[in-house]
Chains A and B, each alone.
Chain A
Amino acid sequence: MSLVESPQTDTLPKLVVRNAATDPRGAGMREKTRGIWQTYSWSDYRDQVRDFALGLASLDFKRGDKLSVVGDNRPQLYFAQLAAQALGGVSVPVYQDSIAAELVYVLNHAETSIIVAEDQEQVDKALSLKDKLPKLRWIIFDDPRGLWSYDDPILQSYERVLEAGRAFAKARPQYFETELTKGRPDDTSIIAYTSGTTGAPKGAMLSHRNIITTAEAFAEVNDVKVGDNWLSYLPMAWVGDASFSLGMAMVARLTANCPESPETVQRDLRELGPDVMLAPPRIWENMLTVIRVKAADASPLKRRVFEYFRGLAERCELKRSDGRGLSSAERLGLALGEILVYGPVRDQLGLRNARWCYTGGAPLGPDTYRFFRSFGINLKQVYGATEASALISCQPDAEANPNTVGRPIPRIEVKIDDRGEVMLKGANVFTGYFKQEDVTRDTVTPDGWLKTGDAGFFDKQGHLVIIDRAKDVGKLADGTAFAPQFIENKLKFSPFIREAVAFGHERPFVVAMIAIDMQTVGTWAEKRGLPYTSYMDLSRKPEVADLIGGEIAKANATLPDVQQVKRFLLLNKELEADDAEMTRTRKVRRKFVAEKYAKVIEGFYNDAKEVQVTMEITFEDGRKSTLTSDIVIHDLVPAEPARRAA
């Protein structure tokens, strides 16, 4: 029986109360502060949520009101969201790195009346916007550091709200229970704004039913144990975090652990050794880059040992995925490698205890995927969408495969429409976009099918395969299908390439814009005694162009001839979410990039050797400036005709 069928457990805050009753001493949430992991038991958790909820009530927060949290993952921000929901309110988490203009749009559209801000940085942002936010009544801050001179009456400290809540409880002891009981599973729990790869953000409304039933379905097909440690490090505004740090934590009693600061995540991850893990491809790509850089810096002997066992692991992994058995020599080798290389690497990454890891949010290159699996990390693919409560399908342990996104979770239906678009129906489908019925009608058919916007198909095994965003899949001039992400992922396997954007729709051949990885290319240049001053300078070095050219040639070797990258350029700045080139979850916004670099793309196809680009760049504080520069376009020497004598 699903939890939503009982009025005792049909909302997230009711589940906090249930967890506190069943397991009062169990660890509900941990936070690393002052160098130590501090635990909130489930009964502490409930008390925090209750007291804060009553504090909100004393600030006149009512059923249907919206509360926004903004900041890095902190227990207080999770408590605040559940507290708002306990009173029948809606939580609207926003991206902590959003620039002011983006925040104004979301907070206004969502009609946020209370902001809970992590620290001074976020308070400053909120205060600078308050004149543009007519509905905003309070800004509550968690960390008082640096706020001694602030006297704006809109500010309240988190502690003061808790105290007010305790006082409120004395005056009206039944209030919390009464309000909690009024909650219904179909009330909206969260409005998750998707920055989207196109257009203005849309607010996807997710009900308690959405989040609870999706978590239940996920727990059913995955090995999830009570008390499993989960690291809450993903942006709180991303629905993927909400579905684990709130959904799974409430439903399956996962313990959410908040890292000390964004800079310490890698170290905290290693200390904690989470039991389960979800990370977007970017994190896996970064981990791989770090391992490779460290391996390259190691002494020659260590490097050779590493390379040997890495090669062995990769061969064995390929054999296994083809269903072929391993020879006893290979098995012995793997056992030795486990002691010498694989185990220690997993330990360094903090994945020694992880029973399963998922990659999701965007496609991960198959080579990166295989690398982690070959090192004994149970990495699998998960597929989801904000509008589908973050989860649509995932891979069973025995069926990991880099090319698919696994089987649909239980109790949902997935079909492919005649245009190849993935559609689904089930309890995980959201209730609509907030105040945007017209867009909702475009996204959900009258009979309840959600259009994901992704092109895909089912393979023989019954796994869903995602090709690309449906609108991105194009055709080359000669009619061959062209899926840019597929090519980009091949390119991004190179440690020197941080981001790649491929173009080719209705064009004779494929071209790519490359953003180099400052760290790895920088180290590479230093080793060669190549002086450089900045990202821009580095990206203009002919030596670097040769290096990247070589990397692209390697990727080309694995691509069919027509899909190979023929020309490329090196961007003189990284793609930035602040410049609207990427979403806050760091997916490339192809349309914006294409518009911004229209001149460059033309240059690719009219044989130009150099293009002048003027573009606007946005600084972190929202200031803008323009940058004009010449970008060289490089031709890729085809691999086939061997080098001619110069």
Chain B
Amino acid sequence: MDDAPILDVVALSKKFGGVTAVQDVSLDVPRGGILSIIGPNGAGKTSLLNMISGFYKPDTGRIVLEGKNITHRKPSEIAELGVARTFQNIALFSGLTVLDNLMLGRHVRMNAGVLSSVIYWGMAQKEDIAHREACEEIIEFLKLQDLRKLPTAALAYGLRKRVELGRALAVEPKVLLLDEPMGGMNQDEKEDMARYILDVNQERGVTIVLIEHDMGVVMDISDHVVVLDRGRRIAAGTPEKVQRDPKVIEAYLGTARSRSGA
């Protein structure tokens, strides 16, 4: 059973007006691994992630999480089922503190109703403490102790990216979708982030789907790589295999014929 993919994407397509963003893309995400999706700009990587997390509705195809079809679920339901994500352009509440942003991430895991929360007694109090504990654990994990009470707007870009990762972790995901977590970072920050991603994967056992442009990082940390080009899947396999694939080289470097008319 463990060999079955945790996330199974079958023949997904999405059109925006006349533009085909994703066409007939399938991928198996093995449990416990790191799978990277690469491809030139406009290849459809983010659209694919948006469909998995429920932000876009696919035109055709289906998405199966642990044997459960989640194709037409709402984003909040998908999060509750264990798929969390971060965004290419950081999406945090900039006026809230780091801690509050993480607590918000716990929202889908909260059960107490309005009334019991207002009275703040018994169950609600217990629950609140448990959530705070979960957030504190993440704060420690990502070394955010000194920033706990700062509004995220006051943080440097690289730190905000880290907080966003923390917010996604607060959901206690089984699968974590990371959309360019290292975009705009310097080398040091990239190394730190790669370290955190590996730790999340290994220590917390979270399956990771990663979109990233830095090929060095992708090749270093991924178990599997899927290459998209103009909405289609053109290659898939281990990093070594994908790197040697002529179709991939063509998509990235282009050939005189294929790109001259574009």
- B227: shortest Cβ distance to chain A, in Å? 27
Q: Are B140 and A263 in contact (CB under 8 A)?
A: no
Q: Which residues in B have their C-beta under 8 angstroms from that of A33?
A: 140
B148 within 8 Å of A (CB atoms)? yes
B139 within 8 Å of A (CB atoms)? yes
A636–B199 CA distance with the chains assembled, in angstroms: 56
- A190: shortest Cβ distance to chain B, in Å? 29
B141 within 8 Å of A (CB atoms)? yes
Q: Of all chain A residues, which has the CB nearest B201? A: A148
Q: Which residues in B have their C-beta under 8 angstroms from that of A148?
A: 199, 202-203
Task: Please give the number of chain B residues whose Cβ is less than 8 angstroms from any Cβ of chain A in the complex.
Answer: 14
Q: Are B139 and A34 in contact (CB under 8 A)?
A: yes
Q: Which residues in A have their C-beta under 8 angstroms from that of B145?
A: 35, 260-261, 263-264
8 contacts between A and B (CB under 8 A): A35-B139, A145-B141, A146-B199, A148-B199, A260-B145, A261-B143, A264-B146, A267-B146
Q: Of all chain A residues, which has the CB nearest B143? A: A261
* Chain B 207-235 per-residue mask, 1 if CB under 8 angstroms from chain A, else 0: 00000000000000000000000000000
Q: Are B203 and A261 in contact (CB under 8 A)?
A: no
Binding site for B on A (CB under 8 A): 33-36, 145-146, 148-149, 260-261, 263-264, 267
Q: Are B148 and A146 in contact (CB under 8 A)?
A: no
Select B133's contact among A34, A146, A149, beta carbons within 8 Å.
A34
Q: Are B202 and A149 in contact (CB under 8 A)?
A: yes
Select A261's contact among B141, B146, B199, beta carbons within 8 Å.
B146
SS of B interface (majority): helix
A161–B245 CA distance with the chains assembled, in angstroms: 50
Select B140's contact among A34, A149, A267, beta carbons within 8 Å.
A34
Q: Are A34 and B136 in contact (CB under 8 A)?
A: yes
- B162: shortest Cβ distance to chain A, in Å? 14
B137 within 8 Å of A (CB atoms)? yes
Q: Which residues in B have their C-beta under 8 angstroms from that of A149?
A: 202
Q: Are A146 and B139 in contact (CB under 8 A)?
A: no
Select B203's contact among A36, A145, A260, A264, beta carbons within 8 Å.
A145
**Interface of chain B residues 186 through 204 with chain A (CB within 8 A):** 195, 199, 202-203
A263–B140 CA distance with the chains assembled, in angstroms: 13
A207–B140 CA distance with the chains assembled, in angstroms: 37
A34–B195 CA distance with the chains assembled, in angstroms: 21
- B191: shortest Cβ distance to chain A, in Å? 12
SS of A interface (majority): loop
Q: Of all chain B residues, which has the CB nearest A143? A: B140
Q: Which residues in A have their C-beta under 8 angstroms from that of B137?
A: 34
Q: Of all chain A residues, which has the CB nearest B199? A: A146
* Chain B 99-139 per-residue mask, 1 if CB under 8 angstroms from chain A, else 0: 00000000000000000000000000000000001001101
A148–B203 CA distance with the chains assembled, in angstroms: 7
Q: Of all chain B residues, which has the CB nearest A266? A: B146
A148–B199 CA distance with the chains assembled, in angstroms: 8
A34–B139 CA distance with the chains assembled, in angstroms: 8
A264–B136 CA distance with the chains assembled, in angstroms: 15
- A409: shortest Cβ distance to chain B, in Å? 37
Known: A34-B136, A34-B139, A34-B140. A146 touches B195 (CB 8 A): yes
Given contacts A34-B137, A35-B145, 20 further A-B contacts (CB under 8 A): A33-B140, A34-B133, A34-B139, A34-B140, A35-B139, A36-B136, A145-B141, A145-B199, A145-B203, A146-B199, A146-B203, A148-B203, A149-B202, A260-B145, A261-B143, A261-B145, A261-B146, A263-B145, A263-B146, A264-B146
A267–B141 CA distance with the chains assembled, in angstroms: 20
Q: Of all chain B residues, which has the CB nearest A261? A: B145
Q: Which residues in A have their C-beta under 8 angstroms from that of B136?
A: 34-36
A275–B136 CA distance with the chains assembled, in angstroms: 28
Q: Which residues in B have their C-beta under 8 angstroms from that of A263?
A: 145-146
A576–B238 CA distance with the chains assembled, in angstroms: 45
A33–B203 CA distance with the chains assembled, in angstroms: 19
- A225: shortest Cβ distance to chain B, in Å? 30
A341–B261 CA distance with the chains assembled, in angstroms: 73
- B140: shortest Cβ distance to chain A, in Å? 6
**Interface of chain B residues 234 through 254 with chain A (CB within 8 A):** none
Q: Which residues in B have their C-beta under 8 angstroms from that of A145?
A: 141, 199, 203
Q: Which residues in A have their C-beta under 8 angstroms from that of B143?
A: 261
Q: 9 shortest A-B CB distances, which residue pairs?
A: A34-B136, A263-B146, A264-B146, A148-B202, A260-B145, A261-B145, A35-B136, A264-B145, A148-B203
Q: Are A35 and B148 in contact (CB under 8 A)?
A: yes
- A150: shortest Cβ distance to chain B, in Å? 11
A146–B202 CA distance with the chains assembled, in angstroms: 9
Q: Which residues in B have their C-beta under 8 angstroms from that of A264?
A: 145-146
- A215: shortest Cβ distance to chain B, in Å? 31
- B195: shortest Cβ distance to chain A, in Å? 7
**Interface of chain B residues 141 through 186 with chain A (CB within 8 A):** 141, 143, 145-146, 148
- B115: shortest Cβ distance to chain A, in Å? 28
A35–B202 CA distance with the chains assembled, in angstroms: 25
